[in-house]
Structure 1
Amino acid sequence: MDPLDRGIALGPLGVSLGQLLLVLAMVVALIVGTWVGSRRQVSVGDVLFNALLIGLIGARIVFVAHYWQSYDTFWSWLDIRDRGFEPLAGLVIAFIYLAWRFWQQPAMRRPLGSAVLSGALTWSMAAGALTLTAPHGASLPSIPLADLDGSPVALPTVLQASDRPMVVNLWASWCPPCRREMPMLEQAQREREDVSFVFVNQGESVDAVETFLQRESLTLDHLYRDPDMSFGREVGAMAMPTTLYYDTDGQLVDTHFGELSRATLDRGLERFTRPSR
């Protein structure tokens, strides 16, 4: 799993390490910018917040423009719970805004430059350290799961039998975003015969799973239980929902922490059709 996409549960909320690093970088930038600016009686806090906001809005707009056919309504464009952003586009847009403020207000250049540089260094060093210490080339775990009849199942065996790439969704019935995304995933499982969709329930009983399926009128193939959440711990899923994308060789090619929309699912599925480098 991408270390920046690893989820952490904070009470009822789940956040990714990437989101926490973004907050950390912003805090460092504010501290440095305030300290340097105080000696020149210049405030850069508003500029930094505006750059962050403009970058996020731009990243969202570019993502929606790319996957607009996957969104059903205008309001779904605004629902950022699916974490549908184009980071590179957001960075470019934020940089253009900051460059404009540099040119417009010369007195702000030193504190703003110091703030941006310190924030960028904080992000790059922390993200680099996480990436270097994270295991690479993660393969599909062979930890035994169980179907609803109690029979043992190993996902590598399922993958080999299907000879198709696999999307593994870790979920629980008590998890609101898991419940919201499940009908969309059910539909995707019906439509995409070239991909195996696997649903691994985390830590719930057979009765709880069957009650949820009946209440929501869901029919899911490849539905398995991970009673002691060993599979979830093995792949580093500390919060739900977490979705993992494995190629036909069982190698992890992408991850998504948090609620999926059809657009963010489609983005992940594109990894199966991109030529390998």
Structure 2
Amino acid sequence: MHALNQSVAVGPLGLSIGQLLIVLAFGVALMAGALIGRRHRVPVADTLFSLLLVALVGARLLFVARYWGSYDGLLSLLDIRDGGFDPLGGVVAGLGYAAWRLWKAPRQRTALSGALLAGAFTWGLTAGPLLLLESQSRPLPDTPLATLEGDSTDLPALAEREARPMVVNLWATWCPPCRREMPVFEQAQREEQDITFVFVNQGEDVALVNRFLDHESLSLENVLLDARNALGDATGAMAMPTTLYYDAEGRLVDTHFGELSRATLQRGLERLR
């Protein structure tokens, strides 16, 4: 049985459904702002794009402040490919900027207020069902997998043997973000003894996977093969890499789409605990 998609692959780019809903809400805000602004002869598109940028910067800054010790230097702080954003920082920064613009530019108030209300209504209307879906218990899928030695297994069997929280990474050797994040997982698997890390390769054969691990000098436990990409279908993860966090009872508690850094992995592990 296929799960409802949690992500969408657009070429090499993977977006979560939540991210797509934000894009949709922003698009609606732009259209509403353009329609109302045309009536009042005042443009607000530049203000809306500035607000979006301020919100993203605020979300990034708060996330970096929370996980400062997990970043190695300035370049890693600026590398937003890890998806390290704190929604609270984005909301506070965005609302602050919006309030300042409403006070500073009286002519924009009607159009900007209408745009913000339209965007907020769209996001609330579409995100509600998504949050309800995510709150429902989704157990470990029993998709047939294989070890590098050729033995058959599945995630529930591994979870029963280990009896501890599990982090499942869906990856492939052709996927650059997957390759970049592997050393992060290797270090975490070595340090986090109370977590089981599982690496499920999607659609590749054992020879190719072994060559990749040897070439990269990676020492990973629990590398499994999913020749038919069935686990991605079962979990609704259409983009790679995808990292799934399951508690000790086998319930999905968090999902990360895209590349991980030490900081974003640490955030996911905190939610497991």
Structure 1 segments of 4 or more deviating over 3 A? Answer: 129-135
**CA–CA distance in structure 1, aligned partners of residues 93 and 132 of structure 2:** 28
Contact 2:14–2:239 (CA under 8 A) maintained in structure 1: yes
1:135 deviates by 8.0
Contact 2:63–2:85 (CA under 8 A) maintained in structure 1: yes
Residue 150 of structure 2 is aligned to residue 145 of structure 1: no
The percentage of counterpart residues that share the same residue type is: 56
CA pair 131-75 structure 1, distance change in 2 beyond 3 A: same
**CA–CA distance in structure 2, aligned partners of residues 180 and 41 of structure 1:** 49
SS in 2 for 1:243: strand
Which letter maps to 2:245? Y
**CA–CA distance in structure 2, aligned partners of residues 221 and 180 of structure 1:** 18
Which letter maps to 2:206? V
Q: Which runs of 5+ in 2 are unaligned?
A: none
SS in 2 for 1:39: helix
1:131 deviates by 3.8
State the match for 2:162 in structure 1. Answer: 162
State the match for 1:118 in structure 2. Answer: 118
State the match for 1:76 in structure 2. Answer: 76
Contact 2:7–2:239 (CA under 8 A) maintained in structure 1: yes
State the match for 1:242 in structure 2. Answer: 242
1:132 deviates by 4.3
Q: Which residues in structure 2 correspond to 1:178-217 (within 5 Å)?
A: 178-217=178-217
State the match for 2:41 in structure 1. Answer: 41
Which letter maps to 1:34? A
1:13 deviates by 2.0
**CA–CA distance in structure 2, aligned partners of residues 66 and 206 of structure 1:** 39
Q: What is the CA deviation profile of residues 171-192 of structure 1, one whole-angstrom value per residue up to 9, with x for unaligned ones?
A: 0000000000001101110111
State the match for 1:32 in structure 2. Answer: 32
**CA–CA distance in structure 2, aligned partners of residues 87 and 30 of structure 1:** 21
**CA–CA distance in structure 2, aligned partners of residues 267 and 226 of structure 1:** 27
1:6 deviates by 2.1
1:207 deviates by 0.8
1:134 deviates by 6.3
1:248 deviates by 0.6
**Greater mean deviation of Cα atoms: 83-92 or 131-140:** 131-140
Q: Normalization by structure 2: what TM-score? A: 0.95
State the match for 2:263 in structure 1. Answer: 263
Which letter maps to 1:48? L
Contact 2:8–2:16 (CA under 8 A) maintained in structure 1: yes
1:140 deviates by 0.6
Which letter maps to 2:259? E
Contact 2:145–2:226 (CA under 8 A) maintained in structure 1: yes
Q: Normalization by structure 1: what TM-score? A: 0.94
Q: What is the CA deviation profile of residues 20-49 of structure 1, one whole-angstrom value per residue up to 9, with x for unaligned ones?
A: 222211111111111111121111111111
Contact 2:61–2:89 (CA under 8 A) maintained in structure 1: no
**CA–CA distance in structure 2, aligned partners of residues 249 and 82 of structure 1:** 28
1:130 deviates by 3.4
SS in 1 for 2:85: coil
**CA–CA distance in structure 2, aligned partners of residues 56 and 265 of structure 1:** 20
**CA–CA distance in structure 2, aligned partners of residues 96 and 193 of structure 1:** 42
Q: What is the CA deviation profile of residues 230-267 of structure 1, one whole-angstrom value per residue up to 9, with x for unaligned ones?
A: 11210111010000001110001111000000000000
**CA–CA distance in structure 2, aligned partners of residues 103 and 172 of structure 1:** 51
Q: What is the CA deviation profile of residues 61-87 of structure 1, one whole-angstrom value per residue up to 9, with x for unaligned ones?
A: 010010010011111000000100001
SS in 1 for 2:61: helix
**CA–CA distance in structure 2, aligned partners of residues 106 and 241 of structure 1:** 46
State the match for 2:174 in structure 1. Answer: 174
SS in 1 for 2:266: helix
**CA–CA distance in structure 2, aligned partners of residues 132 and 169 of structure 1:** 24
* Alignment length (residue pairs): 271
SS in 1 for 2:40: coil
**CA–CA distance in structure 2, aligned partners of residues 21 and 43 of structure 1:** 24
